[in-house]
Amino acid sequence: MKIQRVNSLNHPSLKNKLSFSGLDSWMKVTNDIYGYEIYRYEVTDDSQPLAAVSLVEVKHPVFGHYLVTSPFASYGGFVYATESARDLLLEEVRQLAEELKVEYAAIRFDEGESTPPDNWIQQPSYYTYLVDLTPGPETVLKTFSSDHRNHVRKSMKKRFSIRFGHLDLLDDIYEALARSMHELGSPYHTKTYLQKMMEYLGDTLEFAVLYDPQGNIAGGGVFIFQGDTMFNLHANILRDVRSNYAGEFLYWSVIEHGIQKGMKTFDLGRSLVGSGNEVFKMKWQPRKKLLAYWHWLAPGHELPSLNQKNPKFQLAIAVWKRLPAFIVRPLGPHLVRGLA
């Protein structure tokens, strides 16, 4: 076996296993917008890939200096066929982390039950949620509780509408996500981030925008299609329409849309254990899958906790919610770039 730094990880046998967030197109989005240095390594044996990783280096005055796979995504960018190839790859990552003097290196992938090697620590804080879409919408609907089925049906009577599209929806999807993230107390990216995403991912990405009966923006989402899986990258509802089951309308519309496109699985995306997001996602009767979030820590550093449950961020979240849009929109990208 040999290991080497490479310029691309688009080998046909690796594409689906890396998830969309490990492919060159996704890494180029984050590099174009935030200037992250990209590091790609591959372990081969007789020219056959046995393991691969794609990382970015993040430097931020608030959130620190670290290496991470799958920037701004749930998981991906790390794959291996054998443990020996995996360990060789992770040793290379450790050496890179020491060379760059980062605080930690984070590897995110979808095998949470696997055991990390020595010097790596699993952080069991995140799950993803997988909804089976076969054989069709009626079968999927029957898996829900009677209460949830009732909520989905009620949402259909609220006269919401939804549009799926590409750059034609850029202004509306940015408005939906920027406003909803502001309401949640979180920074968001620029509109250019969404535009670059669409340009690089092309038809594998779709925007969905939800509208109320008066035609006002009520929420939206960004969805990526890879193989037979539909990934939820972002999906939010504005506060004023939550009580009218707008979230149920959005998700059910996306499920029907995915089935029409021949998707077999809807990955609802990661959520923190015990969070409100997890409670909502569990209503869709998904297969709950623990994610592997492995960390190598530099001496003197602790596991990172860059999420809303961290008490250090509670005051900042409360203040952010109260700031006007003309402050949070230009400032947000400078903060969110450190939360890869």
The 10s digit of each residue's pLDDT in 46-84 is 888 999 999 999 999 999 999 999 999 999 999 999 999
Is residue 221 within 8 Å of 267, Cβ to Cβ?
no
- At 310 the three-state DSSP class reads coil
Q: Are residues 213 and 262 in the same domain?
A: yes
Q: Are residues 122 and 149 in the same domain?
A: no
Q: Is residue 298's pLDDT more than 90?
A: yes
Q: Are residues 211 and 82 in the same domain?
A: no
Within the chain, strands assigned E span: 2-5, 37-45, 48-60, 64-69, 78-80, 104-109, 121-122, 126-132, 161-165, 205-211, 217-226, 229-237, 265-267, 271-272, 287-290, 292-297
Tokens 């008490």 identify what position? 311
Q: Are residues 282 and 141 in the same domain?
A: yes
Domain containing 197: what range? 128-289
Tokens of 286: 């998904």
Is residue 152 within 8 Å of 284, Cβ to Cβ?
no
pLDDT at residue number 15: 67
Q: Roughly how many angstroms between the first and final C-alpha of the chain, as a whole number?
A: 31
Residue type, 170: L
pLDDT at residue number 310: 80
34 inside domain: yes
Instruction: Residue 130: name the closest of 321, 313, 266, 305 by CA.
Output: 266
39 inside domain: yes
Tally the domains of the chain. Answer: 2
pTM of the model: 0.95
Q: Are residues 203 and 104 in the same domain?
A: no
pLDDT at residue number 324: 97
Tokens of 70: 């799958």
Task: Give the contacts of 218 (CB within 8 A, at least 6 positions apart).
Answer: 160, 176, 210, 211, 212, 237, 238, 240, 241, 246
Average pLDDT over residues 302-312: 83
What's the CATH number where 39 sits?
Answer: 3.40.630.30
Q: Is residue 37's pLDDT more than 90?
A: yes
213 inside domain: yes
Q: What is the CA radius of gyration of the chain?
A: 20
Q: Are residues 157 and 58 in the same domain?
A: no
Q: Are residues 77 and 192 in the same domain?
A: no
Task: Give the contacts of 168 (CB within 8 A, at least 6 positions apart).
Answer: none
pLDDT tens for 161-189 read 999 999 999 999 999 999 999 999 999 99
Q: Is residue 35's pLDDT more than 70?
A: yes
Residue type, 323: L
Measure Cα distances from 329 to 49, 128, 291 in Å: 43, 29, 31
pLDDT tens for 76-106 read 999 999 999 999 999 999 999 999 999 999 9
Residue 100, Cβ density class (10 Å: 0-12 exposed, 13-18 middle, ≥19 buried) = middle
Q: Are residues 174 and 88 in the same domain?
A: no
Q: Are residues 118 and 140 in the same domain?
A: no
Please state, in angstroms and rounded to a whole number, the distance separating the CA atoms of residues 161 and 200. Answer: 28
Q: What is the mean pLDDT of the chain?
A: 95
Please state, in angstroms and rounded to a whole number, the distance separating the CA atoms of residues 269 and 303. Answer: 22
183 inside domain: yes
